[in-house]
Copies of this chain bind each other. A is one copy, B any other.
Amino acid sequence: MTEARRTVYFVSDRTGITAETLGHSLLTQFTLDFEQRTIPFVDSEEKANQVVEQIAAAGQRSGLRPIVFSTVVDAHVRRVMQTTDAVLFDFFDTFIAPLEQELHMPSSHVIGRSHGVVDNNMYDVRIDAMNYALSHDDGAVTNHYSRADVILTAVSRSGKTPTCIYLALQYGIYAANYPLTQDDLTRGKLPRKLVEHKRKLYGLTINVDRLQKIRSGRLPNSDYASLRQCSYEVARAEALFKGEGISFVNTTTMSIEEIATKIIHEAKLERRLY
C-alpha cells in the first residue's frame, strides 16, 4: 500500500493558471509529493458547492486535509468556497483588501482577465510575434531580420525554437533564430546575412553530454548525435560567440522560462506584453 498523498486543489473562476502558478511556487518549497487537481471555470455558487463536496471527499479518502489555492473573485462564489473544511488560501481575500486601502478605491470584483489580453491589439501583437517566430524558425527565412527584436543563434537542438516561441507568447517579442551550420562553424565566422544584425544576436550553448542525449533521442546512432560531433560543434560555437563578442547563455539546466527571461534581462529587450 502506498502512502496517502495530500490533495492540492487549484480553484479558479477562469483558467486556473494564476492559482497553479501561485500554488506551485509554494509547494516546491516542501519535499512532499502532492496529488494536484485544477478546477477551472468555477463561476457559480452551484459549481462552488460541488467543488466543496469534491474536496471534502478527497480529504476523507486520503485522511489528509486537502489544501486549496483559490483565485476566485466573485464574492458569492468565494463565500461558498470559504465553507470548505480544507486549508483554504484565498488569494483575493489576502491581497485585495490591503491593495484597496493603499489605492483608495474599491476593486472592481470583476472576474479576472489577467491571461487573456482580450484587447484585440494585444492579441494581435502576441499572435503576430508567434507567427514571426514560426516563420523565422531554423533560419528558414532570413530576409525579415530587420523586424526581429532578437536573433537566437546556436547549434541544432540547444533550445532556440521553444525559447523564440516563449518570447513571443509571453512577452510579444519578435524572436528569429538562426542555426549555426557546419560551414559557419568550420569558418569560425558569422554568415554574411547575420553580420549586419550582429547587435541583435544572442547565443545559446549547452553541455555536450546533454546535447548528445537530446540528439540521440532524435536520431539514434547518427553522426549528428555522436559525442565527437557534439563536442566539435559546441566548442566551435562557443569560440565563435567569444570571437565575435556575442553574449551567450548555457541552457543545460535552465527551463524555457529561465532562458527567455535571462535573455530579456541581459539583452535589455523591450517587451510588448505585460
Residues on A close to B: CB < 8 A? 6, 14-18, 20-22, 24-26, 28-32, 36, 40-41, 65, 67, 71, 73, 87, 89, 91, 94-96, 98-99, 102-103, 105, 107-110, 112-118, 120, 123-124, 126-127, 130-131, 134, 137, 161-162, 165-166, 169-170, 210, 213, 217, 253-258, 260-262, 265, 274
Contact = CB atoms under 8 A, between A and B. Distances in A.
B36 A274 contact: yes
Given A29-B99, A32-B105, 5 more contacts: A25-B112, A29-B110, A31-B105, A115-B255, A169-B256
Contacts of A255: 113, 115-118, 123
Contact of A40 (B21, B124, B126, B265): B265
A107 to B, nearest CB: 4
A85 to B, nearest CB: 13
B169 A29 contact: no
Contacts of A96: 26, 29
Nearest to A130: B162
Contacts of A217: 124
A256 B17 contact: no
A216 to B, nearest CB: 12
A113 B28 contact: yes
Given A115-B255, A255-B116, A21 B22 contact: yes
Given A65-B102, A127-B162, A274-B36, A21 B30 contact: no
A12 B113 CA distance: 23
A91 B93 CA distance: 14
B25 A258 contact: no
Contacts of A107: 29-30
A27 B208 CA distance: 44
Nearest to A86: B102
A126 B16 CA distance: 19
A96 B26 CA distance: 7
A140 to B, nearest CB: 12
